[in-house]
A and B are shown apart, each in its own frame.
Chain A
């Protein structure tokens, strides 16, 4: 027990106690009463005085009670506190995991029911807040002023500061109480960064003496270096944090992990969902569902397919039992590749279902897990979020391809015309630029550019120097903003390195990340990525390009190299949110490639790959909760409105280029974006407006793995969970002393009355 204001209480005691004693003796003025005889009274008094010590005590019992009441009051004045956690003035960071797995219903709520892990975490965090030391209410004059401060950060895949450092317990509790569950995945790294960012900066004191001899003190806070006392980081989570090993608290900081959830939190969840249309027969829709079971028992669940709100298919699958992963010591490169399995983790039993549908139109497909033979969710399932998933399957359609070439290219045209396309248009670069300016180019799913690039003066080009869309660029290198002058190779500001390997320059990284180093003769492909969809089953062995561009990668380039020639990267993929391009540094017609089968396979694969999420799948319309819904609407879209799964509608103002950003999304479900204006190629058109659907699904094996763990591996340490009860609360005891004083007063009053009447 500590006292916040012992001095004040001492002063008060020095005044009050003697006063009370003096007053007590002063007040004993006896009333004179005449009685018939004192004979019997004298005798009674003599008898009572026979056991004098006790009687003296008894006579003074009122004084003693008054002194006790006064003592209790003085104790209350000293503001005693029961302290359990640590010294005053500490800085606490309360991290609360609010990811999807924290919504698991497996914590006892103390009333026989269940509560979510997040509710339990919030309660425990509130207890910690209660235990924070408080400053004396009487200020520094009589006691200590320093009080613990805490900040509250709620995180799922992103982190959010709910309350910056404060000692206001009410604000902290309100911030904790306001943490709502999200349905997204978990990422601790950002939360840790936020915590460090809010820690006080290291301050360097600069003391100087100016010309007049005055001492000038200046404090310089240093960004990036934290000062002040070390943070005490408290994490409430179920331990399902895939990036925990990338979180590195400061060496001085203490990190405490308060696990919530049960190690028997068994769950069956959908961890994967994809809808695909066959390239050749787009009316055939395949829905792939991956299901995981983390219970060490075999489980049977029904997988229900709901298309546009109507139950379409039901399949029963049996999932194998999960296998407990024994803590095997890490050995070799195999283990290093995959993230270290947290202690107590299991290898879940996985299963999958494929539904085949004949559906030409677009469809909103929902997949539900059900208990076999009933419409209830799987029995004993702690997490409900991953029992449902949605996928937006766009209407079946074939690709529209625009082939741009100064002169018709025989090899390209032949390949394209042999494909089952809805539309194939030939255009010259000038026509293409006109189409771009008129906005007509957006009608095509894929544009094949042969030795040409869009004019750079066209508005709305991305940093790649390309308009939004899908491009297969042959024999030209888009350099983006850094370049200038259409298809003319840029006079790269880059300094070329002698070797043919990836040149490193500054300045170019702002563009596409590619550097066009001018024409090159005779480049031979020496290596390629076999796993890329465009190059799957393709051999580029022995291909030599007679003419081509020498392509280099700028420093920090995000471009993905698919094939490398002796002069540098030969085939790269550029991708951003709204632009995707496969760039081949040479035109195949200038190489030996056109004589090989692999050319056709590459062309078809590249077109299919580029066009897939436009026409064949719903991947780009599938978002994980916690991330941001970001998409591009037709540039003339107005009155954009986003309808969330819970029915709330929000207006979104699109950027001039039609880009909208909404979120981060908190809930799983189907988000509907509707607007007034032209519909895109894959949108549902309505009268004067259009709508686009986005499915937000958890689809995260880590979150569906709901078994709580008690150990967390951080980058620099291993954190073992603390005991369940986080801390004894530091309680202000003075109200209790006031109550005791009141009780003494009541007893005194009672005795006084009793003394008088009987």
Chain B
């Protein structure tokens, strides 16, 4: 809820991805509820029949087929030519989208830090399993973490790093991640449009955001979904957003200022107001969940004080994002 103190900005990969977490992530691999066509040979089952060791099917031989794949055992038994088909293993595309607007930079612990850590962890899982990983920031600022805040450059809608493959690129991803800072605002619809236009391949898309968009999340999510991604929405809320009266929460007569658009709301924190706020919040989340469910997307709502490994090893594994 409140703006996160700047000290929580990560400065190195170790902060984003501690070694203990790496040890727990190593056995994991990405999965998708859907099987997509890949681009390169990878470790992922593809829709294509190909040259893996795993048998898939037989089909009658037609002229022009590679005779190396004729199943001679069947020819001997039936005296007809059948071709042995094998499953092709291809790579999977993982697209991590982070909401880097100023609203993410709120809460204690900060939502943006949580998103960075979770995105980094998922990117690590994807990279170590020879998947194609792309990461896109919506809004936000870019600059070396050592540099002064004034030198950070605002992102024009999107800031992305693409086509990362292999364990070696983990550091590239981490560097990209630490150079990213939350700030400013963006239009979710416009950002989703651009992501949809610049997308490469198909695969799993993880969208980290609080999904508090005044313009509405519907159009943006439709655009993201519309291009064949298996979309997982991870709604990150700070504990203060879930319970404003809790620790580090709101007290007394206040003038609330929206960090993105500077909108002002005068409130006197009272029990009925808090009750109403909570009802609104749960209604909003429920609406988001229903929207996602209708469009074959999955929504996971987490608090920013949830440990990242709990998110990945528990929530995401249950939902089949990792295995």
Contacts and interface: CB of A to CB of B under 8 A. Distances in A.
Interface string B1-25: 1110000000000000000000000
A90 to B, nearest CB: 55
A33 B253 contact: no
A40 B284 contact: yes
A40 to B, nearest CB: 5
B68 interface: no
A35 B259 contact: yes
A340 B241 CA distance: 95
**Binding site secondary structure of chain B:** mixed
B256 A35 contact: yes
Given A43-B280, A754-B271, A755-B269, A36 B212 contact: yes
Contacts of B259: 34-37
A750 interface: no
Contacts of B284: 39-40
B245 interface: yes
A58 B106 CA distance: 31
A35 B258 contact: yes
Contacts of A756: 251-252, 269
A28 B271 CA distance: 18
Contact of B2 (A33, A47, A58): A33
Contacts of B258: 34-38
Nearest to B276: A44
A30 interface: yes
A44 B265 CA distance: 11
B5 to A, nearest CB: 12
A31 B276 contact: no
A55 B276 CA distance: 13
Interface string A20-33: 00000000111111
Nearest to A39: B212
A45 B241 CA distance: 16
Contacts of B245: 757-758
Nearest to B1: A35
A756 B249 CA distance: 10
B210 A36 contact: yes
A755 B253 CA distance: 10
Interface string B249-285: 0111111111110011111111111101100110010
B106 A36 contact: yes
B210 A58 contact: no
A30 B253 contact: yes
Contact of A36 (B241, B250, B252, B273): B241
Interface in B66-109: 103-104, 106-107
B12 to A, nearest CB: 26
B287 to A, nearest CB: 12
A693 to B, nearest CB: 87
Interface residues of A, number: 28
A42 interface: yes
B277 A34 contact: no
A191 B272 CA distance: 72
A534 B253 CA distance: 109
B268 A33 contact: no
Contacts of A55: 272
A754 B266 CA distance: 19
B298 interface: no
Interface string A40-58: 1111110110000001001
B252 A31 contact: yes
Contact of B271 (A29, A34, A44, A758): A758
A45 B263 CA distance: 14
A37 B103 contact: yes
A170 interface: no
- Which of B238, B254, B260, B270 is the most central at the interface, judged by chain A CB atoms within 10 Å of its CB? B270
Contact of A48 (B106, B214, B266, B273): B273
A30 B270 contact: no
B258 to A, nearest CB: 4
29 contacts: A30-B254, A33-B2, A33-B255, A34-B256, A34-B258, A35-B1, A35-B2, A35-B106, A35-B256, A36-B1, A36-B103, A36-B210, A36-B212, A36-B259, A37-B259, A38-B256, A38-B265, A39-B284, A40-B212, A44-B277, A47-B276, A47-B280, A59-B270, A755-B270, A755-B271, A756-B251, A756-B252, A757-B245, A758-B271
Interface of A: 28-45, 47-48, 55, 58-59, 754-758
Given A32-B257, A36-B107, A756-B269, 6 more contacts: A35-B257, A37-B258, A44-B276, A44-B277, A44-B280, A48-B273
Q: Which 7 A-B pairs have the closest CB atoms?
A: A36-B106, A36-B103, A37-B212, A30-B255, A44-B276, A44-B277, A38-B258
